[in-house]
Structure 1
Amino acid sequence: MRFAVDHDAAEPVYEQVRRQVVEAVSDGLLAPGDKLPPVRTLASDLGLAVNTVAKAYKELEAAAVVATRGRAGTVVLGAGVEQAARAAAAAYVTRVRELGLTDADALAQVRRALV
Protein backbone atom coordinates (compact mmCIF):
# COMPACT_ATOMS: atom_id res chain seq x y z
CA MET A 1 0.00 0.00 0.00
CA ARG A 2 1.43 3.35 -1.04
CA PHE A 3 0.51 6.56 0.69
CA ALA A 4 0.88 10.07 -0.69
CA VAL A 5 0.27 13.54 0.70
CA ASP A 6 -0.34 16.88 -0.93
CA HIS A 7 1.54 19.49 1.10
CA ASP A 8 -0.42 22.27 -0.66
CA ALA A 9 -3.87 20.86 0.11
CA ALA A 10 -6.19 22.52 2.62
CA GLU A 11 -6.57 19.17 4.40
CA PRO A 12 -3.84 18.68 7.04
CA VAL A 13 -1.29 16.04 6.04
CA TYR A 14 -1.93 13.89 9.14
CA GLU A 15 -5.62 13.82 8.12
CA GLN A 16 -4.64 12.81 4.58
CA VAL A 17 -2.71 9.85 5.99
CA ARG A 18 -5.56 8.89 8.35
CA ARG A 19 -8.14 9.14 5.57
CA GLN A 20 -6.06 7.05 3.15
CA VAL A 21 -5.74 4.25 5.69
CA VAL A 22 -9.49 4.29 6.43
CA GLU A 23 -10.28 4.26 2.70
CA ALA A 24 -7.81 1.41 2.07
CA VAL A 25 -9.45 -0.64 4.83
CA SER A 26 -12.96 0.14 3.55
CA ASP A 27 -11.94 -0.75 -0.02
CA GLY A 28 -10.30 -4.01 1.09
CA LEU A 29 -6.80 -2.91 0.10
CA LEU A 30 -5.76 -3.33 3.73
CA ALA A 31 -7.15 -6.34 5.56
CA PRO A 32 -7.28 -7.18 9.26
CA GLY A 33 -3.82 -8.25 10.36
CA ASP A 34 -1.97 -6.25 7.71
CA LYS A 35 0.88 -4.17 9.08
CA LEU A 36 1.22 -0.45 8.48
CA PRO A 37 4.71 0.91 7.89
CA PRO A 38 6.54 1.99 11.05
CA VAL A 39 5.89 5.64 11.91
CA ARG A 40 9.48 6.67 11.21
CA THR A 41 9.56 4.86 7.87
CA LEU A 42 6.31 6.37 6.62
CA ALA A 43 7.32 9.83 7.84
CA SER A 44 10.59 9.55 5.94
CA ASP A 45 8.90 8.23 2.79
CA LEU A 46 6.36 11.08 2.80
CA GLY A 47 8.76 13.82 3.90
CA LEU A 48 6.81 14.41 7.11
CA ALA A 49 7.73 14.86 10.74
CA VAL A 50 7.50 11.69 12.81
CA ASN A 51 4.96 13.36 15.11
CA THR A 52 2.68 14.06 12.14
CA VAL A 53 2.44 10.39 11.20
CA ALA A 54 2.20 9.43 14.87
CA LYS A 55 -0.84 11.72 15.20
CA ALA A 56 -2.53 9.99 12.25
CA TYR A 57 -1.80 6.57 13.75
CA LYS A 58 -3.13 7.65 17.17
CA GLU A 59 -6.38 8.82 15.59
CA LEU A 60 -6.67 5.53 13.69
CA GLU A 61 -6.11 3.65 16.93
CA ALA A 62 -8.73 5.75 18.75
CA ALA A 63 -11.20 4.89 15.97
CA ALA A 64 -10.36 1.16 16.34
CA VAL A 65 -9.07 0.94 12.77
CA VAL A 66 -5.59 -0.15 13.87
CA ALA A 67 -3.83 -1.36 17.00
CA THR A 68 -0.25 -0.57 17.94
CA ARG A 69 1.46 -3.60 19.39
CA GLY A 70 4.80 -2.25 20.50
CA ARG A 71 7.68 -3.84 18.63
CA ALA A 72 5.20 -5.94 16.63
CA GLY A 73 4.09 -2.75 14.90
CA THR A 74 0.77 -1.23 13.95
CA VAL A 75 -1.75 -3.65 12.49
CA VAL A 76 -5.12 -3.20 10.85
CA LEU A 77 -8.05 -4.30 13.00
CA GLY A 78 -10.78 -3.76 10.47
CA ALA A 79 -13.04 -1.04 9.20
CA GLY A 80 -13.37 0.53 12.62
CA VAL A 81 -15.80 3.07 13.89
CA GLU A 82 -16.78 4.70 10.60
CA GLN A 83 -17.97 1.49 8.99
CA ALA A 84 -19.68 0.35 12.19
CA ALA A 85 -21.50 3.68 12.37
CA ARG A 86 -22.65 3.33 8.75
CA ALA A 87 -23.96 -0.16 9.48
CA ALA A 88 -25.80 1.06 12.58
CA ALA A 89 -27.32 3.93 10.62
CA ALA A 90 -28.48 1.59 7.87
CA ALA A 91 -30.06 -0.75 10.44
CA TYR A 92 -31.80 2.23 12.05
CA VAL A 93 -33.20 3.39 8.71
CA THR A 94 -34.52 -0.10 7.99
CA ARG A 95 -36.20 -0.29 11.40
CA VAL A 96 -37.82 3.17 11.34
CA ARG A 97 -39.18 2.47 7.87
CA GLU A 98 -40.66 -0.79 9.17
CA LEU A 99 -42.30 1.30 11.89
CA GLY A 100 -43.71 3.66 9.28
CA LEU A 101 -41.83 6.78 10.40
CA THR A 102 -41.13 9.52 7.89
CA ASP A 103 -37.55 10.62 7.30
CA ALA A 104 -38.29 13.81 9.24
CA ASP A 105 -39.64 11.82 12.21
CA ALA A 106 -36.64 9.47 12.12
CA LEU A 107 -34.22 12.41 12.15
CA ALA A 108 -36.16 14.01 15.00
CA GLN A 109 -35.70 10.80 17.02
CA VAL A 110 -31.96 10.86 16.38
CA ARG A 111 -31.75 14.50 17.46
CA ARG A 112 -33.59 13.67 20.70
CA ALA A 113 -31.26 10.77 21.38
CA LEU A 114 -28.16 12.93 20.87
CA VAL A 115 -29.04 15.38 23.66
Structure 2
Amino acid sequence: MSEPALRVDTTSPVPPYLQIRAQLAALIVTGRLVEGDRLPTVRQLATDLGLAPGTVARAYRELEAEGLIRTRRGAGSRVAAPPARPAHDHAAQLVALARDFAFSARALGADTEAVLAAVRDALGPDMG
Protein backbone atom coordinates (compact mmCIF):
# COMPACT_ATOMS: atom_id res chain seq x y z
CA MET A 1 0.00 0.00 0.00
CA SER A 2 1.88 3.06 -1.20
CA GLU A 3 -0.90 5.64 -1.16
CA PRO A 4 -3.29 6.98 0.00
CA ALA A 5 -2.07 7.84 3.46
CA LEU A 6 -4.25 7.18 6.45
CA ARG A 7 -4.86 9.89 9.01
CA VAL A 8 -5.91 9.64 12.63
CA ASP A 9 -7.28 12.54 14.63
CA THR A 10 -6.30 11.83 18.23
CA THR A 11 -8.57 14.65 19.43
CA SER A 12 -11.64 13.02 17.88
CA PRO A 13 -14.18 11.21 20.03
CA VAL A 14 -13.98 8.37 17.48
CA PRO A 15 -11.38 5.86 18.73
CA PRO A 16 -8.25 5.63 16.56
CA TYR A 17 -8.81 1.95 15.72
CA LEU A 18 -12.26 2.80 14.32
CA GLN A 19 -10.79 5.63 12.26
CA ILE A 20 -8.21 3.26 10.78
CA ARG A 21 -10.80 0.53 10.17
CA ALA A 22 -13.22 2.95 8.53
CA GLN A 23 -10.60 4.47 6.24
CA LEU A 24 -9.21 1.11 5.13
CA ALA A 25 -12.69 -0.37 4.66
CA ALA A 26 -13.70 2.59 2.51
CA LEU A 27 -10.55 2.22 0.39
CA ILE A 28 -11.28 -1.47 -0.10
CA VAL A 29 -15.02 -1.19 -0.76
CA THR A 30 -14.51 1.62 -3.27
CA GLY A 31 -11.78 -0.28 -5.11
CA ARG A 32 -8.87 2.04 -4.29
CA LEU A 33 -7.29 -0.99 -2.63
CA VAL A 34 -7.82 -4.23 -4.51
CA GLU A 35 -7.45 -7.92 -3.87
CA GLY A 36 -3.87 -8.82 -3.07
CA ASP A 37 -2.73 -5.30 -2.17
CA ARG A 38 -0.43 -5.53 0.81
CA LEU A 39 -1.15 -3.43 3.88
CA PRO A 40 1.61 -2.01 6.05
CA THR A 41 2.65 -4.18 8.97
CA VAL A 42 0.93 -3.43 12.24
CA ARG A 43 4.21 -2.13 13.64
CA GLN A 44 4.93 0.07 10.60
CA LEU A 45 1.46 1.63 10.48
CA ALA A 46 1.50 2.20 14.25
CA THR A 47 4.86 3.96 13.92
CA ASP A 48 3.66 6.02 10.94
CA LEU A 49 0.54 7.14 12.82
CA GLY A 50 2.16 7.53 16.23
CA LEU A 51 -0.10 4.93 17.81
CA ALA A 52 0.34 1.80 19.88
CA PRO A 53 0.63 -1.40 17.80
CA GLY A 54 -2.38 -2.84 19.64
CA THR A 55 -4.56 -0.06 18.21
CA VAL A 56 -3.64 -0.94 14.63
CA ALA A 57 -3.88 -4.67 15.39
CA ARG A 58 -7.46 -4.19 16.59
CA ALA A 59 -8.40 -2.37 13.37
CA TYR A 60 -6.83 -5.17 11.32
CA ARG A 61 -8.65 -7.86 13.36
CA GLU A 62 -11.98 -6.15 12.72
CA LEU A 63 -11.25 -5.84 9.00
CA GLU A 64 -10.33 -9.51 8.93
CA ALA A 65 -13.53 -10.44 10.77
CA GLU A 66 -15.46 -8.51 8.10
CA GLY A 67 -13.67 -10.47 5.38
CA LEU A 68 -12.02 -7.37 3.91
CA ILE A 69 -8.44 -8.42 4.61
CA ARG A 70 -6.59 -11.65 5.31
CA THR A 71 -3.54 -11.99 7.50
CA ARG A 72 -1.05 -14.81 7.31
CA ARG A 73 1.84 -15.22 9.68
CA GLY A 74 5.01 -14.29 7.86
CA ALA A 75 3.12 -13.05 4.79
CA GLY A 76 1.48 -9.98 6.31
CA SER A 77 -1.95 -8.55 5.69
CA ARG A 78 -3.46 -8.23 2.24
CA VAL A 79 -6.77 -7.14 0.81
CA ALA A 80 -9.02 -10.19 0.56
CA ALA A 81 -11.01 -11.31 -2.44
CA PRO A 82 -14.39 -9.59 -2.53
CA PRO A 83 -17.02 -11.73 -0.82
CA ALA A 84 -19.36 -13.56 -3.16
CA ARG A 85 -22.65 -11.70 -3.03
CA PRO A 86 -25.67 -11.80 -5.24
CA ALA A 87 -25.52 -8.95 -7.75
CA HIS A 88 -28.70 -7.44 -6.32
CA ASP A 89 -27.44 -7.40 -2.70
CA HIS A 90 -26.13 -3.86 -2.49
CA ALA A 91 -27.78 -3.06 0.83
CA ALA A 92 -24.91 -4.49 2.89
CA GLN A 93 -22.36 -2.55 0.82
CA LEU A 94 -24.34 0.66 1.23
CA VAL A 95 -24.53 0.18 4.99
CA ALA A 96 -20.77 -0.44 5.17
CA LEU A 97 -20.01 2.63 3.06
CA ALA A 98 -22.41 4.80 5.04
CA ARG A 99 -20.97 3.59 8.36
CA ASP A 100 -17.43 4.26 7.18
CA PHE A 101 -18.36 7.70 5.91
CA ALA A 102 -20.14 8.51 9.17
CA PHE A 103 -17.09 7.46 11.22
CA SER A 104 -14.79 9.52 9.04
CA ALA A 105 -17.11 12.52 9.15
CA ARG A 106 -17.38 12.28 12.94
CA ALA A 107 -13.59 12.09 13.11
CA LEU A 108 -13.57 15.50 11.38
CA GLY A 109 -15.95 16.79 14.03
CA ALA A 110 -19.03 16.94 11.78
CA ASP A 111 -22.43 16.83 13.43
CA THR A 112 -25.43 14.94 12.03
CA GLU A 113 -26.73 17.88 9.99
CA ALA A 114 -23.31 18.48 8.40
CA VAL A 115 -23.04 14.79 7.51
CA LEU A 116 -26.49 14.75 5.92
CA ALA A 117 -25.78 17.99 4.06
CA ALA A 118 -22.56 16.50 2.67
CA VAL A 119 -24.46 13.45 1.42
CA ARG A 120 -27.12 15.65 -0.19
CA ASP A 121 -24.40 17.74 -1.85
CA ALA A 122 -22.61 14.61 -3.06
CA LEU A 123 -25.81 13.28 -4.59
CA GLY A 124 -26.42 16.61 -6.31
CA PRO A 125 -29.54 17.51 -8.27
CA ASP A 126 -28.90 14.88 -10.93
CA MET A 127 -28.53 12.02 -8.46
CA GLY A 128 -31.14 12.89 -5.82
Q: For the residues of structure 2 that align with 1:79 and 1:7, how far apart are their CA atoms? A: 31
The equivalent residue for 1:97 is none
The equivalent residue for 1:45 is 48
Q: Which consecutive unaligned segments of at least 5 residues does structure 1 have?
A: 91-115
Higher relative contact order (CA 8 A, sep 6+): 2
From the two aligned structures, give the one with the greater helix fraction. Answer: 1
The equivalent residue for 1:103 is none
% identical equivalent positions = 43
- Spell out, residue by residue over 1:18-37, the C-alpha distance to the aligned partner (whole angstroms, 9 max, x if none): 00111001221100000000
Q: For the residues of structure 1 that align with 2:11 and 2:83, how far apart are their CA atoms? A: 29
The equivalent residue for 1:26 is 29
Q: For the residues of structure 2 that align with 1:47 and 1:74, how far apart are their CA atoms? A: 20
- Structure number with larger C-alpha Rg: 1
The equivalent residue for 1:107 is none
TM-score (norm 2): 0.62
Number of residues of Structure 1 aligned to a counterpart in Structure 2:
88
2:74 pairs with one of 53, 71, 74: 71
Q: For the residues of structure 2 that align with 1:38 and 1:14, how far apart are their CA atoms? A: 15
Deviating 4+ runs (over 3 angstroms): 78-81
Specify whether residues 19 and 80 from structure 1 end up closer, same or farther in structure 2 by C-alpha distance, changes over 3 A only. Answer: farther
Q: For the residues of structure 1 that align with 2:20 and 2:89, how far apart are their CA atoms? A: 26
Aligned residues of 1:25 and 1:79 also touching (Cα < 8 A):
no
- Spell out, residue by residue over 1:38-91, the C-alpha distance to the aligned partner (whole angstroms, 9 max, x if none): 00000000000000000000000000000001111000014559xx59x5355x
State the superposition RMSD in angstroms: 2.2
- In structure 1, the residue corresponding to 2:64 is in which secondary structure? helix
Q: Which consecutive unaligned segments of at least 5 residues does structure 2 have?
A: 92-128
